[in-house]
Amino acid sequence: MMEPAAGLSSGRPSRTSIMVAAGRAFGAREPDPSVRNPDYLAERLLGPAERELIREHPIAAALEGDYQEGRQDMQVASTANLMLVRTRFIDEHLLRALERGATQVVILGAGFDTRGYRFQDQLRGKRLFEVDHHGTQEFKKRRVAEVLGSPPDNVTYVEIDFQKDQLADRLHAAGYQSSAQTFFVWEGVCMYLKEETVRETLRFVAAESAAGSLLVLDYACRATIDALNRFPSHPTHRFSTHWGEPWLFGMPDNREREFFRECGLELRESISLARGREQQRYLTRADGTRLGRGRPSGPRSSGRGGKRRPLAQLANIMKMLGAAVPFIWLGLTRRTQWYALAEVVVPARNSVNPT
């Protein structure tokens, strides 16, 4: 059974799901196609009600302003860069799986995911299931109806009461076939869950899908969770915790392969999003330069042009440097991927023994 983050209540959507959709929407404005987020529908799904829910995050203001100016803000640039890498990595793996015969796609914790709409041609004749709790799914369905009309016939919304329902029961009731080659997307979810819930979900994928089925996910490592707990004012931790969606689960450092194997899956590929060389192909412009990471944001003066006050800007830079200290220290003392994307495969039966 998957469980919701503590801040998710009936009728209210996940604000982190809106924030990451905003990151995709902002990145889709990039003039250079080489580093443009391919999610051209994200911005259309974010109406005034959705944007208001994340108003305190800099990405919300960036969506209302000039793109190049918005990219100067470190939180905006880092959010957009992360969403670019995540979106392109998952899109590439999804399209490859469809080309190789996958007939089902399951998006776990779908949020404002648009793949069922962006890839209608590639998904023709295949089933796609969007699984999420009532609050987020109702916001998503309303926005889809308002801006896109009815969803494609092959897209099925699977509403789940995380407190009562079993994932397998809800999917099977919606028409999911365990015998079919399936591609699972689990993006921006597992870090908000307890470890046992993560293990249960991975075991479901291993037990309830055909051999050769694939799961693509992102995950934080244990060192990242430790650093965020040591420094709660870090932006990643501050926003998600304030919204009632704190990061909880961290993959055991340097034990990713063993962890997946214990759940009945085999790790096929992983890339660390903390290592520049592994992100290079996603973040390099056509002219060979790399997308910038912006500058620390700070209070603006009330004077003409809204220039930052020098002392306030310096204080904010010091604050951002302070936020990096736990990661620098752990980076010197622990070997870890920090945060990664991975593809895992369901092996032939009996070749892996879940524990």
pLDDT in tens, the chain (355 residues): 555 555 555 578 999 999 999 999 999 999 999 999 999 999 999 999 999 999 999 999 999 999 999 999 999 999 999 999 999 999 999 999 999 999 999 999 999 999 999 999 999 999 999 999 999 999 999 999 999 999 999 999 999 987 688 999 999 999 999 999 999 999 999 999 999 999 999 999 999 999 999 999 999 999 999 988 887 777 777 888 889 999 999 999 999 999 999 999 999 999 998 876 777 889 999 999 998 866 655 444 333 344 445 655 555 555 555 556 655 665 566 678 889 999 999 999 755 554 4
* 174: amino acid identity, one letter: A
Closest-CA residue to 268 (of 126, 100, 109, 122): 100
What is the SS3 assignment for 104? strand
The DSSP result for 19-52, as a single string, is HHHHHHHHHTT-S-GGG--S-TTHHHH--HHHHH
Q: How many CB atoms lie within 10 A of CB 321?
A: 11
Distances (CA, A) of 244 to 23, 90, 217: 20, 27, 22
- To 10 degrees, what angle do helices 310-333 and 222-230 make? 140
Phi-psi region of 168 (alpha: psi -120 to 50; beta: other; left: phi over 0): alpha
Strands 104-108 and 182-186: parallel
Degrees (nearest 5) of the Cα angle 344, 131, 174?
105
Q: What is the per-residue pLDDT for 217?
A: 98
The ranges assigned to domains in the chain are: 103-108+115-278+334-345
Q: What is the per-residue pLDDT for 278?
A: 74
Q: What is the per-residue pLDDT for 336?
A: 84
Closest-CA residue to 210 (of 349, 96, 95): 349
Q: What is the pLDDT of residues 100-118, one digit of tens each?
A: 999 999 999 999 999 999 9
> For residues 151 and 116, is the Cβ–Cβ distance under 8 A?
yes
> For residues 45 and 112, is the Cβ–Cβ distance under 8 A?
yes
Q: What is the pLDDT of residues 249-296, one digit of tens each?
A: 999 999 999 999 999 999 999 999 887 677 788 999 999 999 886 665
Q: Residue 229: which H helix or E strand, with range?
A: helix 222-230
Q: Return the structure tokens found at 205.
A: 């994928």
Q: Residue 199: which H helix or E strand, with range?
A: helix 195-207
> For residues 18 and 112, is the Cβ–Cβ distance under 8 A?
yes
The topology under which CATH files domain 103-108+115-278+334-345 is Rossmann fold (3.40.50)
Q: What is the per-residue pLDDT for 297?
A: 53
